[in-house]
Amino acid sequence: MEEIRDKNGLCTEIKLSWCIEDVLGQAKNSKIKITREEAGKVLEYCLNKHDCNIGITWDTLDYYIDTVVSERG
């Protein structure tokens, strides 16, 4: 997480980020094995398909982890 403050100390912007390690850890917590490539695909889905009214949550990661796993051949 990053915050940007103006010269008076007022927080004017925040940035939140998700990384491959977050996805891999969440999958592991659910006892699901995924590759780094699959985790990257989860992040891409989160970026392009998430509900902007809700944002990206652990539930969002779970949903797209399940999606990627179901796409395996």
Q: pLDDT-derived band of residue 22, with 50, 70 and 90 as boundaries?
A: very high
Can you tell me whether residue 32 is helix, strand or coil? coil
Side chain identity at 47, as an amino acid letter? L
pLDDT of residue 27: 98
Tell me the per-residue pLDDT of 1-16, one tens digit each, with 9 for 90 and over.
Answer: 889 999 999 999 998 8
| C-alpha dist (Å) from residue 62 to 6, 15, 46 | 36, 22, 10
What is the structure's pLDDT at 73? 78
Please report, for the chain, the start and end positions of each structural domain, with discontinuous segments joined by +.
Answer: 19-70
Residue 50's pLDDT is 87
Length of the chain: 73
- Residue 35 is predicted with a pLDDT of 98
pTM of the model: 0.85
